[in-house]
Structure 1
């Protein structure tokens, strides 16, 4: 299969996004006070691990060495061919966004109870909103296997966002009921 810039841009955005969702979900599994939030976090981890496997399998199929093109989420722009790349897709998980995410994770580490639950769910709504936009952008230029992969991922991402919103509403309802 021929490497294309759309795939490279999508992979370099989705792989770190998956890693970040997995890390956040793992943190929430241990820190969340609500069983609903813990269950949601478990679902997130499982789904994003599966999505990560799909991205890596597609990269392997297209002979893309993901480790060469990124190191633990840091994009090494010096090794990439930008000549045919749609930079609007690359903006997905750039270094600034990743630093913001890490800062939120550090702040959440200090929280506990319902305060943690709310911060985690808020981060998941915002994060999934961002990734959904990335996938929609990538879909507009995608073909073949890449389009099929993105088409498969989108409903899961939308479900994750909706689940977080529903849990936030439940947390808000229980807080106001007291």
Structure 2
């Protein structure tokens, strides 16, 4: 009889211990997904602002119609991405102001000093590097457990990859 009581107590203990472990694991994963989601929103907005600003320079400084067409497409698409990310930002109650990082601002300042083909190449290289990072960011966010974050990331990933491919192709064609 005593052994049965110990066995039953042990089973109950294991049952509750397993339940607590599952909750800790789930809560930990949820916290990580929330942090990843917030980082996705902030980095997505910041990267988009930088690309829109750089692409705006292209319209006034470049004479290459392919580079200008890409820049206009990036402005249109990233404005839409920005709207989607701003909605997520509001949903997540993120109150920080949108801004361009000092590192990206330095890139923009350097870009503004360039002219002609040198400007076009620098712009395209900036877009390639930034879009490679964006592909990683959006791919990671497309696995987030938050359905809204996952939807925005998944819907926009194809367009970001297309921007990357276009920028690479134009960059290669420049002499």
TM > 0.5 between the two?
Answer: yes
Q: Is residue 64 from structure 1 mapped to residue 93 from structure 2 by the alignment?
A: yes
CA distance in 2, matches of 1:53, 1:142: 21
CA distance in 1, matches of 2:89, 2:38: 8
Q: Within 5 Å, which residues of 2 pair with 1:53-92? A: 53-60=83-90, 62-65=91-94, 68=95, 70-73=96-99
Q: Is residue 19 from structure 1 mapped to residue 19 from structure 2 by the alignment?
A: no
On the 8 A contact 2:138/2:157 being kept in 1, the answer is yes
SS of alignment partner, residue 143 of structure 2: helix
Residue number in structure 1 paired with 2:19: none
CA distance in 1, matches of 2:37, 2:107: 29
Q: Within 5 Å, which residues of 2 pair with 1:1-178? A: 4-60=34-90, 62-65=91-94, 68=95, 70-73=96-99, 98-171=101-174, 175=175
| 1:4 Cα deviation from its structure 2 partner | 3.6
Shift in CA distance, 142/135, structure 1 to aligned 2, threshold 3 Å? farther
SS of alignment partner, residue 82 of structure 2: helix
Q: TM-score, normalised by structure 1?
A: 0.74
On the 8 A contact 2:131/2:164 being kept in 1, the answer is yes
On the 8 A contact 2:58/2:71 being kept in 1, the answer is yes
Q: What value does the CA root-mean-square deviation take over the aligned residues?
A: 1.8
On the 8 A contact 2:127/2:164 being kept in 1, the answer is yes
CA distance in 2, matches of 1:104, 1:135: 22
Query: What are the ranges of 5 or more consecutive residues in structure 1 without an aligned counterpart?
Result: 75-97
Shift in CA distance, 115/101, structure 1 to aligned 2, threshold 3 Å? same
Bigger helix fraction? 2
On the 8 A contact 1:14/1:55 being kept in 2, the answer is yes
| 1:33 Cα deviation from its structure 2 partner | 2.1
Moved beyond 6 Å, runs of 4+: none
Q: TM-score, normalised by structure 2?
A: 0.75
Larger Rg: 2
| 1:133 Cα deviation from its structure 2 partner | 1.2
| 1:63 Cα deviation from its structure 2 partner | 5.0
SS of alignment partner, residue 114 of structure 2: coil
CA distance in 2, matches of 1:140, 1:133: 11
